[in-house]
Homo-oligomer: A and B are copies of this chain.
Amino acid sequence: MEPDFSPLAEFLGDDFDGYLISADGSDSNQLYLSGFDAPDPYTTLYTPEGTHLLVSTLEYGRAKKESRADTVSRLSDYDYMEKYTEYGPVVGKAKVLAEFLADHDVASLAAPDDFPLATADALRDEGVSIEGETDDVLTTIRAVKDDDEIDHIHDAQKATQASMHAAEDLIRAADVADDGTLRYEGEPLTSERVKEEIEVTLLRHGCALNETIVACGADAADPHNRGSGPLSANEAIIIDIFPRNKATKYNGDMTRTFVKGEPTEEVREWFDLTEEAFNAALDAVEPGATGEDVHDAVCDVYEAAGENTLRADQSAETGFIHSTGHGVGLDVHELPRVSQNGEELKPGHVITIEPGLYDPEIGGVRIEDMVVVTEDGYENLTDYPVELVVE
């Protein structure tokens, strides 16, 4: 399906002739605007009249076939190697870009806020005006998914679920050694072993391996700690899986918290409270509500129960110390924000809901599903039980 770029044309208006991206295909804005993926940087120029690519000779044939651009030019059409040799890569490239832009009658540009600084300044030296836009124009377009994109994300989530099942099954099948650590088939069951199982399962489902979190005990109390070493019984194990489908490039994302054996009273209470916050957040998801409303629903539950939150204390290091969620698409973190300052939710937004509580003395718990905002609420793209104890 062809994205609707009319909000981009509208944004350009009388202020800018075009929108320029210079990045490789790992940049999701580039992937989305060009409809093309290549491992080395290339240039996409969007104008309300058409989209134009500038690529290396190596990518020329494929770009003509695969991209959504109206025209494709080669760096060599603008004597790139000569300019590179005389002026170096950055200024040489800017001189090529200036000629390419002139060919498309473009003298003033908007660009993503992370457009490379040195190239922008070199373009300015060539008389081209360029501004990094901070209005999230392109990322706001990307945030609203069409049916094909939602299918891609749903498929990635199914792979995520399959790998969560594989991880849970390992923990279920483990024995508990005398020292409380888990053992599987005579070996210590480590975070690394569970991650390998998750990753192999994802691979068999066409998903690329990203970082995966399998964090136990005090490790789990740091939401960005990936976890390492032996897993233990009676402690909370957070498993957070966020893979990308290799073909479609869309992501999935989910988290569960498991205890093998008997949770402490505090972990049990935290889990129940987090499930309550999770359900309160889901209840708040509907078009017209903001990401901040959804985040507030979580903070309200936690604060009413006497837990600390970043909303109450922005330097908090224990309690609920991250956002409620984020958009998911070509990037695993994208718009809309589901946090303080979160945007208004619209049908087609795909977001995570992932409240959690953290304290090195207790451990960590987090529950995360991914949902799509619909005309009258949301549809949960995740189908996995919310249960703490694995027996």
Contacts and interface: CB of A to CB of B under 8 A. Distances in A.
Contacts of A224: 38-39, 58-59, 62
Interface string A320-335: 0110000000000100
A280 interface: no
Interface string A116-130: 111111100000001
Interface in A65-89: 74, 76-77, 80-81, 84-85, 88-89
A204 interface: yes
A341 B85 contact: yes
Interface in A320-355: 321-322, 333, 340-341
Given A196-B203, A223-B58, A314-B81, A90 B113 contact: yes
Nearest to A204: B196
Contact of A317 (B60, B132, B204, B310): B60
Contact of A134 (B91, B203, B340): B91
A169 to B, nearest CB: 18
A102 to B, nearest CB: 21
Contacts of A121: 131-132
Nearest to A321: B58
Nearest to A209: B209
Copies of this protein in the assembly total 2
Contact of A314 (B76, B196, B315, B333): B76
A286 B189 CA distance: 47
Given A57-B321, A196-B203, A222 B62 contact: yes
A40 interface: yes
Contacts of A39: 211, 224, 333
Interface string A246-258: 1000000000000
A111 interface: yes
A288 interface: no
Contact of A116 (B60, B77, B117, B223): B117
Interface string A87-110: 011110000000000000000000
A225 interface: yes
A115 B113 contact: no
Nearest to A117: B132
Query: Most chain-B CB neighbours within 10 Å: which of A224, A316, A322?
Result: A224
Contacts of A80: 314
A39 B316 CA distance: 20
A269 interface: no
A272 to B, nearest CB: 24
Contacts of A59: 224
Contacts of A134: 88-91, 118, 122
A200 interface: yes
Nearest to A310: B57
A133 interface: yes
A235 B105 CA distance: 46
Query: Most chain-B CB neighbours within 10 Å: which of A113, A200, A322?
Result: A113
Given A114-B118, A117-B117, A208-B209, 18 more contacts: A39-B224, A39-B333, A57-B316, A58-B224, A62-B224, A74-B315, A76-B315, A81-B340, A88-B134, A90-B134, A113-B116, A113-B118, A117-B120, A118-B131, A118-B132, A118-B134, A119-B132, A120-B132
21 contacts: A38-B224, A39-B211, A57-B310, A57-B317, A58-B224, A59-B224, A60-B317, A62-B222, A76-B314, A81-B314, A84-B341, A90-B113, A113-B116, A113-B117, A114-B118, A117-B117, A118-B131, A196-B204, A199-B203, A200-B203, A209-B209
